[in-house]
Structure 1
Amino acid sequence: MTKRTLFSLSILLIFLFHCITTLGQPAAAPAQPANAPVQPATPPVVQPAKAPAPVQSAKVPPTQKGVPDVTKILGKAGGFSVFIRLLKSTGVSDQLYGQLNNSNNGFTVFAPTDAAFSNLKAGTINSLSTYKRPN
């Protein structure tokens, strides 16, 4: 039993020593390219000086002044009239506007389209509890 343990331990030590020495060696240097035959240098052709090209000013997109209004953005995108009506009737649009106005943090709104609302069963919004129901 002890011979088997000593043999296993010695194999393990040899393996570890081999790994350490292999990892400790520096990486091989890249192969040097073969020397290409040197061609005689030709004098560069001198072009006459040209006037510098006029500098074109980069068009800067107009900066948006003020706080973004979620309902206006959705209105411009189109197809969100039901969602806009629900935001306004519940007062959430004012809350969103206030949060954007009072912080540097933005947020993402996942807005369902009018087609998504038309796919709901009749009375789905009316079946919501008073807490969840838009006024």
Structure 2
Amino acid sequence: MANNLLSPLPLLLIFFLHSPTVSAQPPAAAPAPPGPPNITAILEKAGHFSKLIRLLKHTQMDDRIYKELNNTEEGLTVFAPNDKAFTDVEKRRLIKSFSELQRIQLLQYHVVPTLIPFSEFQTLGNPVNTEAGSNTDDQFPLNVTTSEDQVNVTTGVVNTTVSSTVYIDDKLAVYEVDKVLLPLHFFPATSAPAPAPANPEKKALPQPEISAAMAVTRREPELERVMLFALQFLFFQYFL
């Protein structure tokens, strides 16, 4: 009886001695959160934005946008002019005439410091704030209006429409436009001409000079009338 109870023990001992050791593994580390979207990579993937990409890199605005997306909770909205839009501006040699500061401000004027889904354009208040600065009438005003499914963008210098949505997530929205948004601040109005006086004084017309000969000629008829009157008086005195 005792032998029957103890007989399985050697088998169990052999099993435990030869079984592989199972050690507890630490839980796998959670993947790192993805970084903010890269504006130049987005534009390169979309195509026909090579001139905008070149200007973003030249002014280092691509790095600034990346850092802002990494630090902001509000997100960003970018109006992206396509290559044709820049070609039209280059024909007028405007970009080359801008200073480095103006080129940065030009790009900042295309960036709204909040995420705007397409459906929310109709709720925007005007003028819209951009990263270029003040939105007063003589600085960087930007007006966005909607008509049915069309979004219109007006700067005071150019009018254009949003032609497509290039990219959108919870941090960044990129919309294609067919014209470069030229700010009013870069094109100050020429000074208006001075208003005319309410009652302008009329200048007297110059009188022609009268020569001595003409003066004598003008006096002759008067002498004749005086002499005729004197003769008539004498006639009546002596003959009547």
Pick the structure with more strand per residue.
Answer: 2
TM-score, scaled to structure 2: 0.28
Q: Highest Rg: 1 or 2?
A: 2
Q: Which has the higher contact order (CA 8 A, sep 6+)?
A: 1
